[in-house]
């Protein structure tokens, strides 16, 4: 089971510079689709072991990260492979779709 870590401008290097797969969700507490989709993201994280890092970034508390990764719509999910963005997904995406994408990167 993978834990969802709250990332910000002080600890983001934990996912940016590490080897392996990281799934990072940019959200805001005032964003209705973000709030509605949050439990599904948590369920998804529980389906994977600790080899896949799951995290979230509150855009209100991390404006520099939001600009750095050019997050303009919410929620936005970024998939990192060995520190590089390999997938950018905007809007609510089903767990099945996201799970399929994660599995594809794990299998590669």
Q: Dump the DSSP string for 8-22.
A: -TTTTHHHHSSSSEE
**Residues with a known catalytic role:** 31, 34
**Sheet with strand 76-81: strands edge to edge:** 4-7, 52-58, 21-27, 76-81, 84-90
What sign does the CA torsion over 62, 68, 72, 74 have? negative
Residue given tokens 């970034």 in the structure block: 57
Q: Which helix (H) or strand (E) holds 72?
A: none
């Amino acid at each position: 089971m993978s834990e969802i870590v709250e990332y910000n401008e002080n600890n983001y290097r934990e996912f940016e510079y590490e080897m392996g797969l990281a799934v990072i969700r940019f959200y805001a507490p005032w964003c209705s689709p973000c709030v509605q989709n949050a439990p599904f993201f948590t369920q998804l994280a529980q389906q994977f072991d600790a080899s896949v890092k799951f995290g979230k970034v509150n855009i209100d508390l991390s404006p520099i990260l939001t600009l750095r990764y050019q997050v303009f719509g919410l929620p936005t999910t970024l998939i990192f492979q060995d520190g590089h963005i390999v997938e950018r997904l905007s809007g609510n995406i089903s767990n099945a779709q996201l799970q399929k994408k994660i599995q594809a990167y794990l299998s590669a």
